[in-house]
Amino acid sequence: MKRMKKIFITALMTTALVGLAAQDADQILETVDKNMSSKNRIFESDMVIQGRRNSRTITSVSYSVGDKQSFTEYISPAREQGTKMLKLEDKLWIYSPSTDRIIQISGHMLRQSVMGSDLSYEDMMDDRKMTEVYSATVAGHEEIDGRDTYVLDLTAKVDDVAYHSQKIWVDTERYVPLKQEMFAKSGQLLKRTTLSNVQKIQGRWFPMNMVYKDMLKDGKGTEFRVNSAKFDQDIPDYIFTKAALKQ
């Protein structure tokens, strides 16, 4: 009888601890989402694409509202200047000034890399809040660049998610991911993102440097440097129209 009682208490405590850990992990993820997501945002950024022999930097300004609308205009280099990209829901259009034409990106092309980077058009179209799609558990603690992090294992709780599971390293103090690994259903590591240069902008911590690496492809990855970030601004609606692409 005494033994049964002991087993019962241990089981109860384990369940409570697992529940607490899951709750903690979900709370961590929620705080991360608060930092990383916003009603809308305007970024001016440099994308550094590492080639085999050299690298090139593409500067752009992008306007986003939630995860459904996004408009990007490339400013430099001269070759890319004036190229614009519009994402509405699950559709993507690109305007190229050299041809003065708008083309819709579809099928195979969605899987191609954006301007030779490690990011595909598909990747750029998928940016839902993590709490909406993943349930998290704390797998432990690790130190990254001298900062203590929670290691969270994320597993999809909805069907329509790009990555079945993820592993993220979240700064225990600033609640910003410092590293992120995305896995296929088979467990194959697909992508790794390293985030750094965390700054406080409008009361939230935000990583200004991100390095994306397609783990299935050779290469050094693509660096994404945010030069300026503004959150919750007044962005006119016409920006997110196809007419704005030709303006």
| Residues at the site binding other proteins, with contacts judged by CB under 8 A | 106-109, 111-113, 156, 159-164, 182, 184-186, 188, 190, 214, 216-219
The nearest distance, CB 148 to other proteins, in angstroms, is: 30
With H, G, I as helix, E, B as strand and everything else as coil, classify residue 132. Answer: helix
The nearest distance, CB 17 to other proteins, in angstroms, is: 30
Nearer to other proteins, 107 or 140 (CB): 107
The nearest distance, CB 157 to other proteins, in angstroms, is: 12
The nearest distance, CB 185 to other proteins, in angstroms, is: 4
Nearer to other proteins, 109 or 201 (CB): 109
The nearest distance, CB 10 to other proteins, in angstroms, is: 37
Query: Cα(235)–Cα(39) distance, rounded to whole angstroms?
Result: 11
Asked if residues 29 and 130 have their Cβ atoms less than 8 Å apart, the reply is yes
Nearer to other proteins, 98 or 186 (CB): 186
Query: Cα(134)–Cα(171) distance, rounded to whole angstroms?
Result: 18
Query: Cα(208)–Cα(211) distance, rounded to whole angstroms?
Result: 10
- 36-to-62, 118, 175 alpha-carbon distances in Å: 16, 21, 9
Q: What is the 3-state secondary structure (H, E, C) of 133-176?
A: HEEEEEEEEEEECCEEEEEEEEEECCCCCCCCEEEEEEECCCCC
Nearer to other proteins, 79 or 91 (CB): 91
Nearer to other proteins, 81 or 106 (CB): 106
